[in-house]
A and B are shown apart, each in its own frame.
Chain A
Amino acid sequence: MSTEKTFRLDGRDIPFIEGDTVMDAALRAGEYIPHLCHNPEFPPHGSCRVCVVDVNGRHQCSCTLPADENMDVDNSSEAITDVRRSLLQMLFVEGNHTCPGCEKSGACQLQAVAYNTRMLNPHFTHFFPKRSIDASHPEIVFYYNRCILCGLCERVSRDIDKKSVFAITGRGINSKLEFNSLSGKLGDTELSADDKAASVCPVGAILPKYKGFEVPIGERLYDTKPISVVGDVAANHSAEDSVLGNADEYSSDE
């Protein structure tokens, strides 16, 4: 008789080991739970709430919830998809996510998760915030319009790169990503193109400079297969995607 511990997810037994979250166990078992701020490489954060699941009748954040044998998890009902869709719609209207003009379109985790929840419109009134671009860094551009405040760059820069280049400041709707430099400019921080934080962004907020639309339509990450099959942007990050790809062509040493 097996001693493996399991919980139920959409009617299927999902094995887990001590310390697993619901997300960890589900992903290992090949069950996709939509998520944005979560990256399996790093400790969970639980900030975007897109990975919400229904556990024994209560909404829980699957990336931070420790797995337990008595759990009956609903990951795919229309009701839970509705909740996720609303969260995504709020993310879309809070920033300026104009996919048609975005280099990341077709390979963007926010867009792909929105497709996964069958989001067809923003539903809520757009905020149309006035946000700019920081192109002061020689190799990287930061687009404030597209940042979803997932905190991945902040955590990775602090915990992996040991530079703490990014920080989310302010509260609630006034939260924003700031850069750790006296001028407040990205170009004056210690960020380097080969930092892990430079390539961890799930959306089109942190992108390599001097490079755009080089992957033809039809060959982009999510052009032919959904995110539930392909997986996260970060998991598919390749050498060609690297900010180093084109960066040194025009970056000056002066």
Chain B
Amino acid sequence: MSSTLETAANPQILKRIAIDPLTRVEGHGKVTLLQDDNNNIKQARLHITEFRGFEKFIQGRPYWELPVLVQRLCGICPVSHHLAAAKATDMIVSASELTPTADKIRRLMHFGQTLQSHALHFFHLCSPDLLFGFDDDVRHRNIVGVIEDHPEIARQGVLLRKFGQEIIRITSGKRIHGTGAIPGGVNKSLSKSEVAYLQADVQQVIAWAQDAVQLVKKVFFEHYDYHQAFASIESNMMSLVRPDGAFELYDGGLRARDIRGNSIFDHVDYRQYEEYIRENVKNWSYMKFPFITSLGEEDGWYRVGPLARVNNCDFFGTELAEQERIQFMAIGNGLPVQSTLAFHWARLIELLHCTEAIAEILEDKDLRGKELVNKGELVCCGTGVIEAPRGTLFHHYEINDEGIVEKASLIVSTTNNNQAMNESIRKVSSQYLDGNELSEALLNQVEVAIRAYDPCLSCATHAMGKMPMEISLLDANNELIDRLEKNSSGQINRTL
């Protein structure tokens, strides 16, 4: 159920406070708060202030360029876009099954991606809040403060990320924006020396990941009630799961569960995602608002990402992560864990899983195989879905007879969390800001709520040409004298 703080009845007479720009998140966004004379919060909105438009300008490009082109959406999780597009183009070239080498190289690349992104988010962006407190001096509450006060934690964070980046470099040629995956497979396998290079550090990396999970648990339990309650909202959760219900990042079926953990849909073939998910647009945001079709706009919004994935899966396929999952789920007392700050905990359990899975996959001789590509007949369209670090990522393309993209549709991970992030900042506003004179420390609480989702705002803005718009003309007494509305199909109507 959505909060009532989305739109104030009379915004003209309210004070406006903007947190602009949001800090320590990927991309650019802002939050606006409207307060009345008694400092009560009447409206809270997360806005995305930048615009991408990839869906439009990849139209007219050849499909075989897509994995390389669309990864430029982002510098943090390019691998996720690279692989989602590669999976979609696999369908276009009818590569229903990859060679074992291609499949494992791609999975390894994706584990590296998730590892480095999660390490970046937790250590570089969020650990200052969690280690020093949300109201710590802003001059100290940053990564430099972490390096000064907790040098070993900072060092481990940097080296965990470095290991993930090295995996990406070795599998795709570059740490950022490589070219490993191509339609139907990959363009290289690993050499013996490359495998040995990664194996040399992997046990140390697993140990650091275990330390990281212990650290986040310590922080969570030190202020247990506060962490449980902070920005906590009740939402549906959606993620991919393996056919046997196990945690999955690269390929699987879609699973959605409601706030009580009951199934909404399960093991859905992601190629049919349009039957299960729709997107809504609102006139104050460049980011769309997806929802589960069967539940409708009002109740169908959901969360994705680490919290949803750990809640939704039946088990982890690796031992240490599974032990941590069991402890994590215990705080929900049989229900899904809804605490927004538990995102951090879930994220580090995933990080641990990635390190274990990397160690496992590095033992596999298929990584050094020579059969790299499978191709079949060319078909008109393809859908690729993957669990990016921030959540479920959808790429869908349609091509013409010449192999040129005619239509592209992307639902980026952060977009899935749009409503949830808005609900979380409204919860924080009600919990801690309502009735108070706003201070930097209080406003940081709003940012803390958003940061928990690890949003990548730059990736998530795609509503080009479909943005509904409303222009109201008011007289000096704030009386509405005229109003024009542009709907999502571009028609303009006078609605007064």
Give the interface of A toward B (CB within 8 A): 100-101, 103, 132-133, 135-136, 141, 209-219, 249-250
**Chain B nearest CB, measured from A193 CB (Å):** 15
CA distance A101 to B72 in the complex (A): 9
Give the interface of B toward A (CB within 8 A): 60-62, 64-65, 67-69, 72, 172-174, 177-180, 182, 187-188, 375, 378, 402-404
6 A–B pairs (Cβ distance < 8 Å), ordered by A: A100-B177, A133-B62, A135-B62, A213-B182, A217-B179, A219-B188
Taking CB atoms, residues of chain A closer than 8 Å to B404 are 133, 135
CA distance A209 to B187 in the complex (A): 17
Taking CB atoms, residues of chain B closer than 8 Å to A211 are 64
Q: Check A250–B403 contact: CB distance below 8 A.
A: yes
**Chain B nearest CB, measured from A243 CB (Å):** 14
Q: Check B403–A216 contact: CB distance below 8 A.
A: no
Q: Check B68–A101 contact: CB distance below 8 A.
A: yes
Taking CB atoms, residues of chain B closer than 8 Å to A101 are 65, 68-69, 72
Q: Check B178–A135 contact: CB distance below 8 A.
A: no
Q: Check A141–B174 contact: CB distance below 8 A.
A: no
Taking CB atoms, residues of chain B closer than 8 Å to A209 are 62, 403
Q: Besides A213-B187, A216-B179, 14 other CB < 8 A contacts? A: A100-B177, A101-B69, A103-B65, A132-B60, A133-B60, A135-B62, A135-B402, A210-B378, A212-B62, A215-B187, A216-B188, A217-B178, A217-B179, A250-B378
Taking CB atoms, residues of chain B closer than 8 Å to A214 are 182, 187
**Chain B, residue nearest A219 (CB):** B188
Taking CB atoms, residues of chain A closer than 8 Å to B67 are 213
CA distance A249 to B67 in the complex (A): 20
CA distance A211 to B187 in the complex (A): 11
Taking CB atoms, residues of chain A closer than 8 Å to B402 are 135-136
Q: Check A213–B179 contact: CB distance below 8 A.
A: yes
Q: Check A100–B403 contact: CB distance below 8 A.
A: no
**Chain A, residue nearest B66 (CB):** A212
CA distance A210 to B92 in the complex (A): 11
**Chain B nearest CB, measured from A85 CB (Å):** 26
CA distance A75 to B72 in the complex (A): 38
Taking CB atoms, residues of chain B closer than 8 Å to A210 are 64, 378, 403
Q: Check B64–A212 contact: CB distance below 8 A.
A: yes
Take A100-B72, A135-B402 as given contacts and tell me if A212 and B172 are in contact as well, using a CB distance cutoff of 8 Å. Answer: no
Those 4 A-B pairs whose CB atoms lie nearest each other, nearest first: A217-B173, A135-B402, A212-B64, A216-B188
Q: Check B403–A212 contact: CB distance below 8 A.
A: no
CA distance A249 to B373 in the complex (A): 13
Take A135-B62, A209-B403, A216-B173 as given contacts and tell me if A249 and B187 are in contact as well, using a CB distance cutoff of 8 Å. Answer: no
Taking CB atoms, residues of chain B closer than 8 Å to A133 are 60-62, 404
Q: Check A216–B187 contact: CB distance below 8 A.
A: yes
Kindly identify which residue among B60, B180, B375 contacts A216, using a CB–CB cutoff of 8 Å. Answer: B180
Taking CB atoms, residues of chain B closer than 8 Å to A216 are 173, 179-180, 187-188
Take A135-B404, A249-B375, A250-B378 as given contacts and tell me if A212 and B68 are in contact as well, using a CB distance cutoff of 8 Å. Answer: yes
Output the residue of B62, B188, B375 with the most chain A CB within 10 A. B62
Q: Check A135–B403 contact: CB distance below 8 A.
A: yes
**Chain B, residue nearest A215 (CB):** B187
CA distance A216 to B105 in the complex (A): 13
CA distance A141 to B402 in the complex (A): 9
**Chain B nearest CB, measured from A3 CB (Å):** 53
**Chain B, residue nearest A211 (CB):** B64
**Chain A nearest CB, measured from B406 CB (Å):** 12
**Chain B, residue nearest A187 (CB):** B402
Output the residue of A133, A136, A211, A217 with the most chain B CB within 10 A. A217
CA distance A209 to B402 in the complex (A): 9
**Chain A, residue nearest B401 (CB):** A252
Taking CB atoms, residues of chain A closer than 8 Å to B174 are 217
**Chain A, residue nearest B169 (CB):** A217
CA distance A218 to B187 in the complex (A): 12
Taking CB atoms, residues of chain B closer than 8 Å to A213 are 64-65, 67-68, 179, 182, 187
CA distance A132 to B61 in the complex (A): 9
Output the residue of A100, A132, A213, A250 with the most chain B CB within 10 A. A213
Take A100-B177, A101-B65, A217-B173 as given contacts and tell me if A212 and B72 are in contact as well, using a CB distance cutoff of 8 Å. Answer: no
Taking CB atoms, residues of chain A closer than 8 Å to B61 are 133
Output the residue of A210, A211, A218 with the most chain B CB within 10 A. A210
Taking CB atoms, residues of chain A closer than 8 Å to B172 are 217
Taking CB atoms, residues of chain A closer than 8 Å to B187 are 213-216
Taking CB atoms, residues of chain A closer than 8 Å to B177 are 100
**Chain A, residue nearest B58 (CB):** A101
Taking CB atoms, residues of chain A closer than 8 Å to B72 are 100-101
CA distance A211 to B183 in the complex (A): 9
**Chain A, residue nearest B187 (CB):** A216
Taking CB atoms, residues of chain B closer than 8 Å to A141 are 62
**Chain B nearest CB, measured from A106 CB (Å):** 9
**Chain A nearest CB, measured from B61 CB (Å):** 7
CA distance A48 to B182 in the complex (A): 34
Q: Check A218–B65 contact: CB distance below 8 A.
A: no
**Chain B nearest CB, measured from A140 CB (Å):** 11
Taking CB atoms, residues of chain B closer than 8 Å to A215 are 187
CA distance A114 to B173 in the complex (A): 22
Q: Check A218–B173 contact: CB distance below 8 A.
A: yes
